[in-house]
């Protein structure tokens, strides 16, 4: 009987959203929690260079130009490589063929992003780095006495990936918390959205959602001789003019020095203007209290979060871009799934 019970699917609950005002949202997630992009003097933080390199890949032709009608975009390259099912030997041949027409920096970025067939393997895990479709930027440190003061590391990790899905599918996958415990190399012991915390704010001039908020309680395992840590993660999704969507996170708890960051999303289009993928760029600062961590440990955490999100979103996506193709400036609706 016990064996039979273990084979039964766990009951899932959908957390209902509540209509809220901007005042309600800012009470839950103050502006001061939003991970900054500039320092106290309004100068770009070191994150800007990595992000700008990726933004240019999305927004400008890789080579050619609109004027001469031979512009070749990142979206066109994605379409070609998808036709080869992302098999690394063929993807590398395609990249080699365009290498003379792009910079070495862009070529290396594209190799990291496009060599991704390892991520599709059933044996993939965040501890395996080969062909995972992710590019990592340099680790950087917050200026001293800027933003949050704490006793831990001030290091920030940054990474990016291409997701073959739209924002609606990505956010649906991200908020299917009942699936987190089955992620590759999972260390989560508990992932529980706080009842009543799911807020959605309507835009001032439309019925579209301008922002959404959620609080999630995490408990995760740690390697010996440590035990586990707990954290309340506050999540804010909102629209800005600088990208299709930005999602901020801010963690609180006695077991962490800090946990903060953001995801920025851009829809990638081909030369005809049709969407083919989504670029995700993540900045994340995370430091546990009393637990020695290296940059490689935090990067493995990024690899886990980004890799599992991409795998889940692409599995959910039905290949229809109808909801996201023409709608700009809205937070897509997403169900919040948790275990009862």
CATH code of domain 11-324+329-333: 3.30.530.20
Q: Does 104 score more than 60 pLDDT?
A: yes
Rounded (10°) angle between helices 104-114 and 47-59: 80
Global confidence as pTM = 0.93
Checking if the pLDDT of 204 tops 80, the result is no
Give the per-residue pLDDT at 322: 61
Residue 172 buriedness (CB in 10 A; 0-12 / 13-18 / 19+): buried
Work out the average pLDDT over 116-122: 92
- State the pLDDT at residue 11: 61
pLDDT at site 207: 77
Compute the average pLDDT of residues 168-190. Answer: 93
What pLDDT does 130 receive? 83
Average pLDDT over residues 101-129: 93
Q: Where along the chain do its domains lie?
A: 11-324+329-333
pLDDT band at 6 (very low <50, low <70, confident <90, very high): very low
Average the pLDDT over 60-82 and give the result: 94
Mean pLDDT is lowest, of 74-78, 81-85, 132-136, 221-225, for 221-225
- pLDDT over 90 percentage in the chain: 72
């Amino acid at each position: 009987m016990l064996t039979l019970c273990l084979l039964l699917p766990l009951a899932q609950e959908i957390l209902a959203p509540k209509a809220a005002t901007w005042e309600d949202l800012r009470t839950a997630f103050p502006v001061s929690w939003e991970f900054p992009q500039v320092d106290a003097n309004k100068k770009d933080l070191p994150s800007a260079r990595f992000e700008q390199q990726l933004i240019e890949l999305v927004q400008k032709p890789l080579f050619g130009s609109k004027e001469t009608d031979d512009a070749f975009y990142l979206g066109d390259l994605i379409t070609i490589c998808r036709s080869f099912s992302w098999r690394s030997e063929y993807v590398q041949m395609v990249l080699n063929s365009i290498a003379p027409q792009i910079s070495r920096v862009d070529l290396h970025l594209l190799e990291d992003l496009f060599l991704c067939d390892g991520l599709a393997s059933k044996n993939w895990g965040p501890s395996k780095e080969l062909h995972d479709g992710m590019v990592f930027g340099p680790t950087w440190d917050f200026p001293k006495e800027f933003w949050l003061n704490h006793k831990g590391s001030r290091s920030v990790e940054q990474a990016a990936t291409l997701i073959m899905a739209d924002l609606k599918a990505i956010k649906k996958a991200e908020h299917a918390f009942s699936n987190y415990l089955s992620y590759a190399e999972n260390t989560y012991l508990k992932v529980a959205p706080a009842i009543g915390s799911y807020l959605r704010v309507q835009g001032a001039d439309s019925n579209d959602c301008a922002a959404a908020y959620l609080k999630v309680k995490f408990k995760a395992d740690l390697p010996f001789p440590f035990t586990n840590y707990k954290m309340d993660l506050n999540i804010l999704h909102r629209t800005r003019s600088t990208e299709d969507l930005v999602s901020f996170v801010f963690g609180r708890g006695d077991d962490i020095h800090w946990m903060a960051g953001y995801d920025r999303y851009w829809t990638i289009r081909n030369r005809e203007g049709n969407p083919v993928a989504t670029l995700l760029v993540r900045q994340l600062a995370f430091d546990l209290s009393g637990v020695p961590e290296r940059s490689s440990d935090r990067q493995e955490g990024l690899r886990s979060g980004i890799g599992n999100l991409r795998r889940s979103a692409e599995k959910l996506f039905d290949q229809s871009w109808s909801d996201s193709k023409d709608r700009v400036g809205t937070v897509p609706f997403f169900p919040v799934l948790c275990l009862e």
